[in-house]
Amino acid sequence: MRAETLVDTDDNLAWWKNRPGYKPCILLLGLAIMLFMAFSPAPSTLMTLVLEKAPPGYKLSTGCQTIMDTVNKRLHPKAYDRYQKAVVNNKPVPLDVKETLVSPEKAAQLAKVMVGILIVAALFWGTEAISIGATDIMVAVLMYLFCILPPDDIAKAYLKDAVFFIFGILAVAVGVSKTGLDKRIGLILLSRIKSTKAFCFIFFPTLSVCAGFLSEHALVALLIPVLMGIYKATCKAHGVEQDRALAILLLLGLTFAGNIGGPGSPAAGGRNAVMMGYFADMGAPISFAQWMVRGLPFVPVMSLILGIYMYLVLKPKFIVPDMNPSEIVKREVSLLPKFGGQEAIMAFILVAMILAWIILGEHYGLGGPTLVAVFGMMLARIVVWEDIQQEVAFDVVGLYAAACAMGAGLKFTGGALWLAKGFVALMPEFMTQGAGLPLGVAIMTGTLTNFMSDGATVSALGPVVLPMATLTGVHVWKVGLACAFSSSFAHCLVVGTPNNAICFGMGKDPETGERMLSVFDFVKYGVPFWVLCMGVLYLWTLVGYWSFISWPGIG
């Protein structure tokens, strides 16, 4: 009887136990935050903002003078038209119109609630208190419940070009992997690397540039078994049982090189697609080529700095004298089937898609060409719909859709502008103008991205930091790109990016199964490299070649 009582008690308390995708304490914290934001009085600064005439950083609807006017015109168009006619004709405003229109207090509350949705979504994405997909849906549910936007507008906000782009690029990655094209690309990258020095100064830059256009997660996952084979063969060739310094250079160098490919192009990751969507919402769309001009030069320079850093810090600690990856890799390449068939078709589709992004992206967006590529894969029978259903992470697609919706809600209610004003007020003066603002945004983003996914970081911070540009007179692209670029600097923690987790999980001795990396290795080598990334971003990019690039006016 006593045992049965204990079992019953455990079952009754099962709902309170943390497990993957379910953390009740965090859920209760989110509920408390949401209740506080929904029912506490709006701060005076927000009340002042919604009534301010033509506030800098907010795009008013035609004929409107304040944020409150814009909110009323969109949420209650008929009542607002009757209100406008009564004002123009010097007639009293009908009582039913007064009762329908949003008051200053209600307009401020909408903005505050939208900020609450942002905080809770970022909290749940970062901690996985519930699954990513559930959080994606939660954003829509809360926006509907609190009437943040008209229902049709919420649905439209979830279906931006950026959402089609991220879905398409994930589907294309399935085709690249299924045909073996990713393995061929990865092995070719290593085929001419004959020393540690070549690995650091040739392989790292090459991999980083490739990671700007291909899935860095796929490249890292593909290459780790190859690198572990190189590691074991090198140790055996020199009569060494284990060489941790060599293993750390191979594994951390690989994941760091994959991370810093992020700024190279919009195709590097969903966080870039989200930022492109935010730019479009701000009336400052950026094309694929315009992004590359501003981002690609950062990648090889940063990867060379990575090579110098890893070589100087770890090469002196090697037990083996050197390594020669090319001998081992050439044997792997010889086992690959002859290039042709579906692999060749996939290569053609991939190249055509990238060219379409560059040439047609300004007029057709990124989502259109990417969906064409997906359709082409299906016509060629490279993938079938069942492959996409099984392999594409639709919860991640939903994350970017929810991010677009939050961005639209924060922009419309004035919540983003209110947050931006608060952050600008807290920043040191040198970080509120010129290159200082993008640097401040980069430090903030680069710190947060080590604790939550890069996509969630940009999703949460994008609507907050972009209005800062308008408030301080800095070009919106500079602030947004600094945010997107630094979201790739998740070098310090295993949980910072899938690359790190893949590297930590797969980086095992091929014979003994011993894990070659510790959690502290990421902190020990990742934190100094994070500082180097920030320094290069500021000196080489923000005050370097960006000074010689034209920045178009915003329409």
Domain carrying residue 21: 12-159
Which one is predicted more confidently, 1 or 129?
Answer: 129
Looking at the fold, whether 218 and 138 belong to one and the same domain comes out as no
pLDDT in the model for residue 57? 65
Q: Find the length of the chain.
A: 555
Contacts 24+ apart (CB under 8 A), 507-516: 507/224, 507/228, 507/247, 507/251, 508/228, 509/228, 509/231, 509/232, 509/242, 510/225, 510/228, 510/229, 510/232, 511/232, 514/242, 516/228, 516/231, 516/244, 516/247, 516/248, 516/251
Looking at the fold, whether 148 and 192 belong to one and the same domain comes out as no
Looking at the fold, whether 188 and 143 belong to one and the same domain comes out as no
Q: How confident is the model at residue 332 (pLDDT cuts 50, 70, 90)?
A: low
In this prediction, residues 323-343 reach a mean pLDDT of 77
Q: How far apart are CA 66 and CA 103, in angstroms?
A: 12
Which one is predicted more confidently, 461 or 299?
Answer: 299
Query: Tens digits of per-residue pLDDT, 3-15?
Result: 444 444 455 555 6
Q: Sign (positive/negative) of CA torsion 274, 491, 265, 394?
A: negative
472, pLDDT greater than 50: yes
pLDDT in the model for residue 378? 94
Among 131, 159, 187, where does a domain finish?
159
| 515's tokens | 């894990």
| 313's tokens | 């810090």
| Residue closest to 231 by CA, chosen among 313, 172, 113, 314 | 314
Looking at the fold, whether 385 and 337 belong to one and the same domain comes out as yes
Q: How confident is the model at residue 59 (pLDDT cuts 50, 70, 90)?
A: confident
Domains contained in the chain, number: 2
Which of 56-60, 129-133, 386-390 has the least mean pLDDT?
56-60
pLDDT in the model for residue 6? 46
In this prediction, residues 302-321 reach a mean pLDDT of 95
Percent of the chain at pLDDT exceeding 70? 91
pLDDT in the model for residue 1? 44
Q: If you average pLDDT over every residue of the chain, what do you get?
A: 85
Greatest mean pLDDT among 101-105, 491-495, 501-505 lies in: 101-105
Flag whether 3 is in a domain.
no
pLDDT in the model for residue 311? 96
Among 159, 187, 222, where does a domain finish?
159
Q: Tell me the Ramachandran region of residue 294: left when phi exceeds 0, alpha when psi lies from -120 to 50, beta otherwise.
A: alpha
Looking at the fold, whether 326 and 389 belong to one and the same domain comes out as yes
Q: How far apart are CA 134 and CA 148, in angstroms?
A: 19
Q: How far apart are CA 290 and CA 285, in angstroms?
A: 10
Q: What are phi and psi of 77, to 5 degrees?
A: -60, -40
| Residue closest to 133 by CA, chosen among 453, 458, 404, 398 | 398
391, pLDDT greater than 50: yes
pLDDT in the model for residue 11? 54
In this prediction, residues 72-90 reach a mean pLDDT of 88
Looking at the fold, whether 490 and 368 belong to one and the same domain comes out as yes
In this prediction, residues 138-152 reach a mean pLDDT of 93
pLDDT in the model for residue 56? 73
Flag whether 497 is in a domain.
yes
In this prediction, residues 536-553 reach a mean pLDDT of 91
Q: How far apart are CA 219 and CA 187, in angstroms?
A: 10
In this prediction, residues 59-82 reach a mean pLDDT of 90
| 526's tokens | 């990742």
115, pLDDT greater than 80: yes
Among 92, 124, 159, where does a domain finish?
159
Which of 47-51, 252-256, 300-304, 324-328 has the least mean pLDDT?
324-328
Contact at 8 Å (CB) between 175 and 382? yes
pLDDT in the model for residue 193? 84
Q: What are phi and psi of 159, to 5 degrees?
A: -125, 60
Q: How far apart are CA 396 and CA 420, in angstroms?
A: 27
Looking at the fold, whether 168 and 76 belong to one and the same domain comes out as no
Which one is predicted more confidently, 554 or 324?
Answer: 324
Query: In sequence order, what are the residues at sequence separation of 6 or more whose Cβ sits closer than 8 angstroms to the Cβ of residue 250?
Result: 199, 227, 228, 230, 231
Flag whether 2 is in a domain.
no
Looking at the fold, whether 108 and 153 belong to one and the same domain comes out as yes
Flag whether 321 is in a domain.
yes
Flag whether 5 is in a domain.
no
2, pLDDT greater than 60: no
Quote the DSSP letter at residue 515: B
Could you tell me the CA-to-CA distances from 447 to 3, 122, 229, 406, 450 in Å, in that order?
49, 14, 34, 22, 6
Instruction: Give residue for tokens 């930022």.
Output: 275
Residue 318 parent element (H or E): none
Could you tell me the CA-to-CA distances from 417 to 111, 115, 469, 484, 509 in Å, in that order?
10, 11, 10, 19, 51
Q: For the chain, percent helix, then strand, then coil, each to nearest 5?
A: 75, 0, 25
Which of 97-106, 282-291, 411-420, 489-498 has the least mean pLDDT?
489-498
| 517's tokens | 């990396």
Query: Tens digits of per-residue pLDDT, 182-237?
Result: 667 767 777 778 889 999 999 999 999 988 887 677 677 777 877 887 888 888 88
Classify residue 468 as exposed, middle or buried by CB count within 10 Å of its CB (0-12, 13-18, 19+).
buried
Which one is predicted more confidently, 500 or 65?
Answer: 65
Q: How far apart are CA 148 and CA 463, in angstroms?
A: 15
In 340-391, which ranges are continuous DSSP H helix? 341-364, 367-379, 385-391
The four Cα atoms 113, 117, 119, 122 give a dihedral, to 10 degrees, of -170
pLDDT in the model for residue 251? 93
Looking at the fold, whether 440 and 407 belong to one and the same domain comes out as yes
Greatest mean pLDDT among 208-217, 319-328, 368-377, 454-463 lies in: 368-377
Flag whether 317 is in a domain.
yes
Q: How far apart are CA 5 and CA 245, in angstroms?
A: 54
Flag whether 555 is in a domain.
no
Looking at the fold, whether 56 and 141 belong to one and the same domain comes out as yes
| 150's tokens | 């008209």
Query: Tens digits of per-residue pLDDT, 400-454?
Result: 788 778 878 888 898 878 887 787 777 787 887 777 889 999 998 888 788 666 7
